[in-house]
Amino acid sequence: MRNPYLKSALTGVLLVIGWPPVSFTPLLFVAFVPLLHVLFNEKSLKRSFFYLFTSFFIWTLGTMYWVALVGAGGWDRFALSLALILIPLFMTLPTVCFFWSTKMIKHQYKWLFLPFFWLSYEYLLSNWDLAFAWLHLGLGLSPMPSFMQFYEFTGASGGSFLIILINVLLTLIITHRKRKLHAR
């Protein structure tokens, strides 16, 4: 799959499938790999934003669709429409900020800082007047209570960190192996 928008869409679909109520939860640990693979090779901040927005829009739509079924119409539909734009827009911020701040660093391991940007985003999003913690990554592990015992010490933020870190590490491993194969 060479089309970056299809990879971005795949990330969104994997996040929806990995999220409750569908809950193929282990998919969360690989869901970001297609998107990160696109971003790893992307030089344009503008195109990166569109790839990110595509992924997060699909994820938001796939996990928030039921809100439209609950509302009666009018303002409820307006609020849902606004949420379907704002939530993915806010979700792009940690990666866009990371992408922008590391533009001058050429080493590929700069991607290991992405989990810290994501945690900063989740923390800030939880502590303002428009707080909406529904889609914090760590909450996606709730169907696996035996796995998430470490939440006693880290809270859901530990799960978010682990999900992003594993996705970044898998992307780095795949990219490194592809480069080795092309070098031969």
pLDDT of residue 99: 82
Non-local CB neighbours of 45 within 8 Å, separated by 6+ positions: 96, 99, 100, 103
pLDDT of residue 1: 62
Q: What is the DSSP string of 133-176?
A: -TT-GGGGGTT-TTGGGGHHHH-HHHHHHHHHHHHHHHHHHHHH
Q: Which of 34-38, 90-94, 118-122, 130-134 has the lowest mean pLDDT?
A: 130-134
What b/e readout covers 134-146, taking b as 16+ CB neighbours within 10 angstroms? ebbbbbbbeeeee
Find the helix packing angle between 4-18 and 45-70, rounded to 10°: 40
pLDDT of residue 74: 66
Tokens encoding 106? 């050429």
pLDDT of residue 32: 97
pLDDT of residue 173: 93
162 pLDDT above the threshold of 80? yes
Assign 126 to helix, strand or coil: helix
For the chain, how long is the longest CA-to-CA vector? 61
146 pLDDT above the threshold of 90? no
**% of residues, the chain, pLDDT over 90:** 51
Whether residue 160 contacts residue 32, with contact meaning beta carbons closer than 8 Å, is answered with: no
